[in-house]
Amino acid sequence: MNFVKAEAGPYNSVIFYDSSGKRYLARNGSRNYRNNNPGNLVPGELSKRNGQIGVAGKFAVFPDFEVGKRAMADSLRTVYGGRSLKEMIERLVNSVKRSLTH
């Protein structure tokens, strides 16, 4: 399937549209599964440059899982590139701590 647009649907589902306008409903699985977004990336420049086609549940939606995986890899390179695994984890933990205290 070649999806060109997506939006939030009822009951946490995602509605995908193909190039002819036909609608497809994704309602099973976790949010990141339905959004084709294994990295739980939020909408923004990084997601847009990696093929984001919509937003559902405050997260970016990608046209398929492979595009979502490439976006996640780009995010890891952009945010954590050149760091050791320990440094990556420390940065992620500190980010989560900050978000919980604000």
What's the predicted TM-score (pTM) here?
0.84
Asked if pLDDT for residue 102 goes beyond 70, the answer is no
Task: Pick 69 or 95 by higher pLDDT.
Answer: 69
The torsion angle over the Cα atoms of residues 1, 15, 63 and 47, rounded to 10 degrees, is 170
Task: Pick 72 or 101 by higher pLDDT.
Answer: 72
Task: Pick 18 or 88 by higher pLDDT.
Answer: 18
- Banded model confidence at residue 5, pLDDT cuts 50, 70, 90: very high
How many whole angstroms from its chain centre is CA 69?
A: 9
**Count of structural domains, the chain:** 1
Q: Give me the domain span that covers residue 41.
A: 3-101
- Banded model confidence at residue 30, pLDDT cuts 50, 70, 90: very high
Question: pLDDT tens across 69-85, in order?
Answer: 999 999 988 888 888 88
Confidence at residue 99, expressed as pLDDT on a 0 to 100 scale: 67
